Structure 1
Amino acid sequence: MMEMNKRLKMDLLLDLELLRTFVMVAKTGELKKAAQAIFRSQAAVSMQMKRLEELVGCTLMERNNRGIQLTDAGETLLGYSEQFLKLNNATFSALNERDLSGQFNFGVPTDYAQDFLNFFMPVLTREIPNLEAKIICDRSRTLRKKLKAGELDIAIVAGEPDYTDDQLLWSERLIWSASAQINVEELKEIPVAIYDDNCIISDLCISGLKKSTISYRQVFSSSILENVATAVHSGFAMSLLPESMFDSCKIQEVSSSILKSNSVLNMNMINSPMIDEPILTKIAECLRLASNTQRLGSRSV
């Protein structure tokens, strides 16, 4: 009987899907955030963690007012899980070296350059280690032209109604924003910062102002969206900002009775038709994973 028990224990196999979810829960510290990052329901993630604990025979995490904390056993499993997942990816890369290797020219919106380097490239490097990336930064509309001209393989661009073949990566609201220190209702004339560039956000901002009945004056313009956000944070102006740049500690959403926006910014992936579908699927998965990690704690276009 003892010999059989030993053999049964030796035959136990860890499920890589469970380990991937476990790593995401450990990294985010919340079931809800982990579920968002891997495109599953919170209930499904909770069930996966229960199955994993049953499989390994010990408690891996505990909940408290700070979120989810790993136990000593959880910390041990986390280290091994990351190694297992890296080895899994390295194995597939080695077996499919022709498909998941080579040089790719990536087009990235200028205002996403830092986020791409900080969040997206680490994921691409980890998931597709043989990928050689060359990054070209420009405006979304210019990136579309560059890809059409054969200068890019893949690009992240802002979605627009005229383009229907884009592959959606993520979406976020566009919010009329003002400094938290300003009483907007008392202003007779609204100071506005304009994102002065050939892009969808600029178009929607100007269109929204023209459709409104408020009195406003342009006091700031910049072709760099971060500068526009800084003008809002400082209380110098109001503007239309992506939700991921909305810092609730510094700014407030302008009442819809003053300025209303129902617009959603879609960030999409476009690609050269010369790239094989399996490679596109893998890269899209990496970009979605990185965008979720970035948006769980950061900013936007």
Structure 2
Amino acid sequence: MLDPKLLRTFVAVADAASFTIAADRLNSTQSTVSQHLGRLEAATGRQLIDRAARPIGPTPAGERLLGYARRLLTLQAEAEALLADPAGTATIRIGVPDDIVTAPMSQRFAQFAERHRAIRLDVTTGLSRDLSRRFRAGEFDIAIAKEPAAGNDARASFPEPLAWFESCELSGGWPDPIPLVTFPSGGLYRDLMIDRIEREQRRWYIAFTGNSLGSVLSAVEAGLGVSVLPVSTVAAHAVRASGIFTADAPLVVSIYAWECGGATGELVAAMSEALSNRPGEQINTKPLNKR
């Protein structure tokens, strides 16, 4: 491997066409510059500077090396600058349900990242049950989960009213069996829907399965079926509360974190603020439980 210090000396001599000027530019002495150049020539086995020329300049071998030397020195400078910048050297891992990553929540993430350049936010979306499991397994530092009741270790919890929704374009009642628009198996809303419709002794079938809130809402808007959704998520969509069933009991949105101080505590507070200000007139924004 070629020593960057020797390459820097070689480039300086080639650019200055003078050992004396190169030494001044390097804040060194002429003898040190000569020693460095000699060591580089010994390492490459080639004479790199024609000392007999006036002015002195690179030999053919030196000309071939010069371009590579500049590129190597540039890469070294970039690497040193990258390592000197603390941005992204620490990570906070966050798990959240898809519909929680709203514009206000994303703004809280951006504001936090601007204040803490050394911290990289690693956000994963998924189903609440899976997020809870992964948080308990230590895969997340912070997790938000929707659940029937908040755990004792929840940092804060907020009510999540639910309702059955259908397309605003729907005319007449739903057929028998009832078409359902759902999230994938294991989804909390899907299980609530099926449990309720079974208790009502109604027949049903899955008409559409979507992996995101956006796809489920689009399917409901199009009239593909009826679905249970959080009241806070539907304001901008052409859906309405369905009279097929009365509203189910609300869930809670709970935020969990292993730490409550420092940067993690600051982020938990910002995320809790975003949760408390979510749209939906029927939502009580006062935390149910705060530790």
Counterparts in 2 of 1:213 and 1:146: CA distance versus 1, 3 Å: closer
AA matched with 1:287:
M
The answer to whether the 8 Å contact 1:231/1:238 transfers is no
The one-character-per-residue Cα deviations of 1:19-58 (angstroms, maximum 9, x if unpaired) are: xxxxxxxxxxxxxxxxxxxxxxxxxxxxxxxxxxxxxxxx
Query: Which of 256, 270, 282 lines up with 2:266 in the alignment?
Result: 282
The 2-side partners of 1:217 and 1:203 are apart by 13
The 2-side partners of 1:248 and 1:132 are apart by 31
The 2-side partners of 1:160 and 1:178 are apart by 23
Counterparts in 2 of 1:115 and 1:248: CA distance versus 1, 3 Å: closer
The answer to whether the 8 Å contact 1:108/1:136 transfers is yes
Q: SS of 1:176's equivalent?
A: strand
AA matched with 1:159:
E
Are residue 263 (structure 1) and residue 249 (structure 2) matched? yes
Q: Unpaired segments of 5 or more residues in structure 1?
A: 1-100
Are residue 180 (structure 1) and residue 168 (structure 2) matched? yes
Query: 1:239 maps to what in 2?
Result: 227
Counterparts in 2 of 1:225 and 1:144: CA distance versus 1, 3 Å: same
Query: Which of 198, 206, 211 lines up with 2:186 in the alignment?
Result: 198
The answer to whether the 8 Å contact 1:119/1:293 transfers is no
Q: CA deviation at 1:127?
A: 6.1
1:66-105 alignment runs, 5 A limit = 102-105=90-93
Which of the pair is proportionally richer in helix? 1
AA matched with 1:237:
G
The 2-side partners of 1:218 and 1:269 are apart by 31
The one-character-per-residue Cα deviations of 1:43-100 (angstroms, maximum 9, x if unpaired) are: xxxxxxxxxxxxxxxxxxxxxxxxxxxxxxxxxxxxxxxxxxxxxxxxxxxxxxxxxx
The 1-side partners of 2:185 and 2:176 are apart by 27
Query: 1:146 maps to what in 2?
Result: 134
Counterparts in 2 of 1:296 and 1:213: CA distance versus 1, 3 Å: closer
Counterparts in 2 of 1:102 and 1:112: CA distance versus 1, 3 Å: same
AA matched with 1:282:
E
Q: Give the aligned CA root-mean-square deviation in angstroms.
A: 3.1
Q: CA deviation at 1:241?
A: 1.0
The 1-side partners of 2:133 and 2:205 are apart by 33
AA matched with 1:261:
A
User: Which has the greater radius of gyration?
Assistant: 2
The 1-side partners of 2:187 and 2:237 are apart by 28
The 2-side partners of 1:162 and 1:248 are apart by 28
Q: SS of 1:259's equivalent?
A: coil
1:242-253 alignment runs, 5 A limit = 242-247=230-235, 250-253=238-241
The 2-side partners of 1:277 and 1:252 are apart by 42
TM-score, length basis structure 2: 0.56
Q: Unpaired segments of 5 or more residues in structure 2?
A: 1-88, 282-291
The answer to whether the 8 Å contact 1:169/1:287 transfers is no
The answer to whether the 8 Å contact 1:229/1:245 transfers is no
The 1-side partners of 2:161 and 2:229 are apart by 8
Q: SS of 1:229's equivalent?
A: helix
Query: Which of 126, 136, 140 lines up with 2:124 in the alignment?
Result: 136
Q: SS of 2:173's equivalent?
A: helix
Counterparts in 2 of 1:246 and 1:132: CA distance versus 1, 3 Å: same
* Deviates further, 146-155 or 101-110: 101-110
The one-character-per-residue Cα deviations of 1:257-293 (angstroms, maximum 9, x if unpaired) are: x312232132211122xx2445554223201222345
Q: How many residue pairs end up in the alignment?
A: 193
Query: 1:295 maps to what in 2?
Result: 279
Query: 2:204 maps to what in 1?
Result: 216
The 2-side partners of 1:131 and 1:194 are apart by 36
% identity of equivalent residues: 19
Q: CA deviation at 1:178?
A: 0.6
The answer to whether the 8 Å contact 2:179/2:206 transfers is yes
The 2-side partners of 1:249 and 1:133 are apart by 30
Counterparts in 2 of 1:249 and 1:184: CA distance versus 1, 3 Å: farther
